[in-house]
Amino acid sequence: MTAVFDTFYADDTLVDHLTKSIQYSIQSGGKRIRPLFLLETLQAFGIPISEAHFKVAAAVELIHTSSLIHDDLPAMDNDDFRRGQLTNHKVYGEAQAILAGDALLLDPYLLLSSADLNASVIVALVAELAYASGSHGMVAGQVLDMDGEQHTLTVDQLKKIHALKTGRMLTFPFVAAGIIAEQDDEIVALLRQLGEAVGQAFQIRDDILDVTATFEEIGKTPGKDVVADKSTYVKLLGLDGAKQALTEYLDIASQMLTEIEHKTQLQGEPILKQIERLRID
């Protein structure tokens, strides 16, 4: 996937300081879990990975990176560190960081349109990615998340925020793999449910780590949710309750995977391993 980024941003007609600020964030050691879920799900369906699939994987990672750059801005979470290094705006300035985020939000569609896949598959992937990231997904979740900072939320309200803010972008890899693997609607719907459970688990895990992990472990300032008195599973249910909720969502994800295995040729062991790695005792 790194090769896709390097080729895409290698064009010497591009604006040098824009691509530098973009490269700074995309090559900063993110876990790449969204691309990983996509590529592993494709392989689990028996599909050999090609450059086109790396482009789809890169597309979701670029939008994810865009959201992190914008999330760290002073007008949002106002963070100085991300992935163990200074945030984009701390290095390149606020205006440049906004523009790097803007580019990373749009470049994926240029990448996707150049992927060697059937046109109908590309159209479906474009629709899914826009659905996951825009006013039907992550951006809406971020707005609700910010609104919620002034109030104590219910668990149901939190679930909705997690589903939009974090869940949609983690659902994309599974749904996209189903689309590329030409699975029928029933299986794509099951893949969507699998992604939704992973998304809920992922955000609960992130919130648990905010109170239990060190800067070195999470690459960003811990304890920010507590300082902001933000509604999280940890605040609403306590640490043990949050861990219990994490376990429940990971169990649901694992059951969904088994159901998909029973209904298709999918061999889900590597995906299950990734899911299991999200557990916290």
| Residues near ligand GRG (CB under 6 A) | 30-31, 33, 63, 66-68, 70-71, 76, 83, 101, 105, 133, 138-139, 142, 165-166, 202-203, 206
To ligand GRG, the closest distance from the beta carbon of 46 in angstroms equals 27
- Choose between 68 and 275: whose C-beta lies nearer to ligand GRG: 68
To ligand GRG, the closest distance from the beta carbon of 102 in angstroms equals 8
DSSP-derived secondary structure for 101-151: HHHHHHHHHHHHHTSSS-HHHHHHHHHHHHHHHSTTTHHHHHHHHHHHTTS
To ligand GRG, the closest distance from the beta carbon of 206 in angstroms equals 4
- Choose between 66 and 231: whose C-beta lies nearer to ligand GRG: 66
Structure tokens at 56: 């789809």
C-alpha 204/C-alpha 163 separation (Å) is: 11
User: How is the chain split among helix, strand and coil, in percent rounded to 5?
Assistant: 70, 0, 25
- Choose between 217 and 229: whose C-beta lies nearer to ligand GRG: 217
- Choose between 146 and 189: whose C-beta lies nearer to ligand GRG: 146
SS3 173: helix
To ligand GRG, the closest distance from the beta carbon of 182 in angstroms equals 28
Q: How far is CA 135 from CA 7, 140, 168, in A?
A: 30, 5, 11
Structure tokens at 138: 């992550």
- Choose between 190 and 235: whose C-beta lies nearer to ligand GRG: 235
Structure tokens at 141: 């979740």
To ligand GRG, the closest distance from the beta carbon of 104 in angstroms equals 8
